[in-house]
Amino acid sequence: MPEYHSIGKKYSTGDTGKDNTNPVSAEPVANPSIANVGKYLSAEASLQLNGPVTDEVFEMRKALCVACPSRVLSDKLPDEIGYCRSCGCGVSERARLTVKLTMPATSCPMNKWGPSEGRHKSPIERAKSWLAKRLLGA
């Protein structure tokens, strides 16, 4: 009998007596598209230009992601918070939720949280912060 596969399930056209569940790997799969690449570049640029989000915003985003059923942990590249299966970024250094949650221009693909401002409201504040880190080790 033919079988049809869907995420997390296996269906057949008749009762074969087989188990109809087929566990899917928890690893997020990269789904590159022009839209995703544009969102990624915008998010990275916002982090460089505006700095990371505030601790309060980060913690709020983290709490929502930790409770989300789309969040998974990876054995390939461990991360404290994990990865999102819904965003299409896959498993990579920059796709870690500990990184993505700090980016001002990023948003949840499930609309649980949206873009926020970075800590640096202007490029001058960003330059001051950069100089303070380099000169004072702050």
Instruction: Look at the block and give the residue holding tokens 């918070």.
Output: 81
Residue 106 lies in a domain: yes
Residue 128 domain-assigned (yes or no): yes
Confirm whether 90 is domain-assigned.
yes
Domain that holds residue 73: 34-133
- Kindly report, residue by residue over 87-138, the tens digit of the pLDDT: 888 888 888 999 999 999 999 999 999 999 998 877 677 777 777 778 877 5
Q: Is the pLDDT of residue 16 over 60?
A: no
Q: Which pLDDT value is given to residue 87?
A: 85
Q: How far apart (Å, rounded) are the C-alpha atoms in residues 124 and 105?
A: 19
